C-alpha cells in the first residue's frame, strides 16, 4: 500500500495529459536550480538545529556553560531550534517528494527514520519525566545522571542521523545490485523496479 501511494506520488500527481508531461515530483527532480536550493537549505537548517541541540545537550552533560542555568540556555536557543527544525522538516519533505521511491528502498533513509523516531521518544521522555525536577538542578554545574544520559543519547542519535543522511548519496546498496539477502529484505528490493539480486546466488554462479 505504501509503495503504491509512492508510485502515484512520483509518477501521477500533477502529471499533464501528454505522454511526455512530467509529474510534480519529476519536475522538481529535474529542475535546474530549485533542487540545489532545497538541498542547500536542508543542510543549513540541519546545521542550525543540531548546533542548538549540541549546545543544550553539552550543558545538560555539564561540559559547557556550567555557570549558566539549563533553563536559560534552553530558552535562548529555543527560537533558533524551532526555526531550524521546522525548515529542516519542510525542506526534507520536499526532497523526499522529488524521488520518493528511491528513498523508500534506501536502507540509509530507513535507518534515518528509525533514528528520528528514537530521537522523538528520547525528547518525550526528557520533557515528561526528567524535566519535571529541573528546578531542583537547574543551576547545578552537572545535572543528575538521568539528564546527562538523555543528553548523551540525543547527541549520539543526531550524529548517527547525520551519518545516515550522508550515506544516502552513495549507491553501495542500491536495489538491483548483488548484495546480502538481509539488505535486500530490509530495503524491500523485491518490490522495487530494480528487483533483488542475491550476493550469495551471484557468487555461486561465478564459482560452480
**At 119, which helix (H) or strand (E)?**
helix 107-128
Average pLDDT of the segment spanning 1-16:
88
Higher-pLDDT residue of 20 and 71 is 71
Domain boundaries, the chain: 2-170
Banded model confidence at residue 35, pLDDT cuts 50, 70, 90: confident
Banded model confidence at residue 201, pLDDT cuts 50, 70, 90: low
pTM of the complete model: 0.86
pLDDT tens for residues 55-71? 999 999 999 889 999 99
Report the distance separating Cα 107 and Cα 111, nearest Å.
6
Banded model confidence at residue 198, pLDDT cuts 50, 70, 90: confident
- Cβ(123)–Cβ(7) under 8 Å? no
Q: Is the confidence at residue 190, as pLDDT, over 80?
A: yes
Q: Is the confidence at residue 204, as pLDDT, over 60?
A: no
pLDDT tens for residues 111-167? 999 999 999 999 999 989 988 888 999 999 999 999 999 999 999 999 999 999 889
Q: What percent of the chain has pLDDT over 70?
A: 96
**At 197, which helix (H) or strand (E)?**
strand 197-198
C-alpha cell at 13: 500527481
Amino acid at each position: 500500500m505504501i509503495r503504491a501511494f509512492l508510485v502515484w506520488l512520483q509518477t501521477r500527481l500533477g502529471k499533464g495529459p501528454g505522454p511526455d508531461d512530467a509529474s510534480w515530483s519529476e519536475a522538481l527532480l529535474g529542475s535546474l536550480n530549485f533542487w540545489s536550493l532545497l538541498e542547500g537549505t536542508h543542510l543549513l537548517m540541519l546545521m542550525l538545529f543540531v548546533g542548538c541541540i549540541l549546545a543544550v545537550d553539552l550543558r545538560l552533560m555539564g561540559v559547557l556553560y556550567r555557570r549558566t542555568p539549563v533553563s536559560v540556555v534552553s530558552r535562548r536557543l529555543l527560537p533558533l531550534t524551532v526555526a531550524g527544525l521546522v525548515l529542516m522538516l519542510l525542506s526534507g519533505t520536499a526532497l523526499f517528494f522529488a524521488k520518493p521511491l528511491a528513498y523508500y528502498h534506501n536502507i540509509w533513509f530507513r535507518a534515518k527514520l528509525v533514528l528520528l523516531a528514537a530521537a522523538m521518544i528520547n525528547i518525550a521522555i526528557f520533557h515528561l519525566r526528567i524535566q519535571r525536577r529541573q528546578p531542583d538542578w537547574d543551576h547545578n554545574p552537572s545535572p543528575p545522571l538521568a539528564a546527562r544520559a538523555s543528553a548523551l543519547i540525543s547527541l549520539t542519535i543526531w550524529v548517527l542521523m547525520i551519518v545516515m543522511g550522508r550515506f544516502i548519496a552513495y549507491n553501495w546498496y542500491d536495489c538491483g545490485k548483488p548484495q546480502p539477502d538481509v539488505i535486500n529484505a530490509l530495503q524491500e528490493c523485491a518490490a522495487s523496479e530494480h528487483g533483488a539480486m542475491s550476493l550469495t546466488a551471484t557468487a555461486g554462479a561465478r564459482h560452480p
